[in-house]
Structure 1
Amino acid sequence: MKLILSFVAAFIFFFQSDIEALRNSYAKANDSASNTEKFIGIAEKQSGSDAVTLGYKAAAKIMEAKVSKGNRKTLVKTGATSLEAIIKSNPNNAELRLIRLSVQENIPKIVGYRGSLKDDKAFLLSNYSKQNAALKNYIKRFALQSKTITEAERATLK
């Protein structure tokens, strides 16, 4: 029995550290082209097939357009389509909504992928209290640098 519990705990710890690595790398990805490339590399190496991991992989595909010399339009379209499908399957996942909000905040307006900014912001603010401590902290860190979340809205995140 102890062996099974140890295995389950190790699995959860391993999975959680992968998510933390993705979160930390994603939070820094827009700072520079090299950080963007690091995030893309970390996301591509992830073997998880859970919705959040797939969401980060979709965001990496979108961000690849920022540093790629190839067909940027295709990269954005592929990543955005994938992210939208993942969110459609998991509409109540706050981390996926955060990923989409941050992508849409930072993508150039000319691309036209900005339709869910208000909905995602409202969802995050209204469901913030229901999240675990790690995700709350991640949302707060995002809110501090967000262009969409106002000072008054930041103050509600406790």
Structure 2
Amino acid sequence: MFKKHLLFLILTFTTLMGFADTPQPNIPHLRKKLMQAINSKPTTDSLYKSLEMIQQRSGLLNGYMGALEALKAKHAWNPYFKIKYLSNCEDTFKEAVAQDPHNIEIRFMRFSVEHNVPGFLGYTKNLAVDKQEMIHQIELKNYGTADKELVITVIKFMLDSKHCTADETNFLNKTLAALK
């Protein structure tokens, strides 16, 4: 009996130590670094490597991985690798959305990537569904981990994207005014 309890405690402790070895990133810091990565290949590569080491990624972290894969495509000079990273990005975003389908931050990252990728590449399939989900979450004021600054950025980006109807634009402008 004592051996079973001891074995259970050892297994539990070992499992917890394994999770402790994988530091979880600070999301506000990660957001800032992602913005820097847009124009910096070294920052993109560094962030990608640090997130790649995390074994059990949440939907949000997978969303950041998808965004970083898109940035790796942007920074790559070889067309083969550009397409490869975009394909990986699409799969990673699909997984992120499946893990956390109502997360406005994940939807925003995928929407912004798809908005900026040339349409002829075929990576713009989720623009409408992501737009609808973001608007729905804004209506519910369900911002998840997104802070006020990010919500304002999301709304401004959606307005600038020209993917919104007149009613959606009106709603987003009213919401934006209330947030300021």
TM-score normalised by L of structure 1: 0.74
Aligned counterparts, 1:9-28, within 5 A: 15=24, 18-28=26-36
Partners of 1:101 and 1:117 within 8 A in 2: yes
Whether the 8 Å contact between 1:52 and 1:95 is mirrored in structure 2 is: yes
Report the AA paired with residue 156 of structure 1: T
SS in 1 for 2:26: helix
Candidates 108, 119, 122, aligned match of 1:98: 108
* Paired position in structure 1 for 2:174: 155
- Alignment pair present for 1:59 and 2:64: no
| Correspondent of 1:114 among 114, 124, 127 | 124
Any conservation in 2 of the 1:97–1:120 contact (CA below 8 Å)? yes
Q: 1:137 to 1:72 in 2, by over 3 A?
A: same
CA distance change for structure 1 residues 86 and 132 in 2, over 3 Å: closer, same or farther?
A: closer
Amino acid at match of 1:155: K
Task: Give SS of 1:115's match.
Answer: coil
Q: Distance in 1 between matches of 2:155 and 2:36?
A: 14
Show the counterpart of 1:41: 46
Give the match for residue 92 of structure 2: 82
Distance 1:90 1:37 in 2: 29
Deviations 1:51-73 (A, max 9, x none): 21121112211221111134211
Alignment check: 8 A CA contact 1:54 1:86 kept? yes
Q: Is contact 1:62-1:76 (8 Å) kept?
A: yes
5+ residue gaps, structure 2, are: 1-19
CA distance in 2, matches of 1:40, 1:59: 12
TM-score by length of 2: 0.66
Q: Is the 8 A contact 1:95 1:135 kept in 2?
A: no
Distance 2:136 2:124 in 1: 20
State the superposition RMSD in angstroms.
2.6
Larger C-alpha radius of gyration, 1 or 2?
2
